[in-house]
Amino acid sequence: MLLFILLSGASQFVLPVIGSGHGDFGKHLFLLNLTYDAMIGVSILWCFNVVSKLLCKKLIKRRSMNL
């Protein structure tokens, strides 16, 4: 999913140059910024998910040792 978001954002940077021969980036930078912001948001949520899973495993392991 992150790769798809990255590629769609990168295409908005490259396609105006290929299509018209010069950089008309004014219209295309909105989607570029939106996709990169979405990618950063999803990456942060993924990191929180990984950390919470690790903490839950440690908590369960600690509780099982106390019983």
Query: Can you give the residue ranges of every domain in the chain?
Result: 2-66
What is the average pLDDT across 53-65? Answer: 87
Q: Which residue has the higher pLDDT, 47 or 34?
A: 47
> Which pLDDT value is given to residue 22?
62
Q: How many CA atoms lie within 13 A of 10 on its CB side?
A: 6
What is the average pLDDT across 4-14? Answer: 76
Condensed to tens digits (0 to 9), the pLDDT of residues 11-45 reads: 777 777 777 656 566 666 777 788 888 888 988 99
Q: How many CA atoms lie within 13 A of 5 on its CB side?
A: 13
Query: Tokens 């950089």 sit at which residue?
Result: 23
Determine the Cα–Cα distance for residues 29 and 47; give it in Å rounded to an integer: 27
Q: How many CA atoms lie within 13 A of 65 on its CB side?
A: 6
> Which pLDDT value is given to residue 20?
66
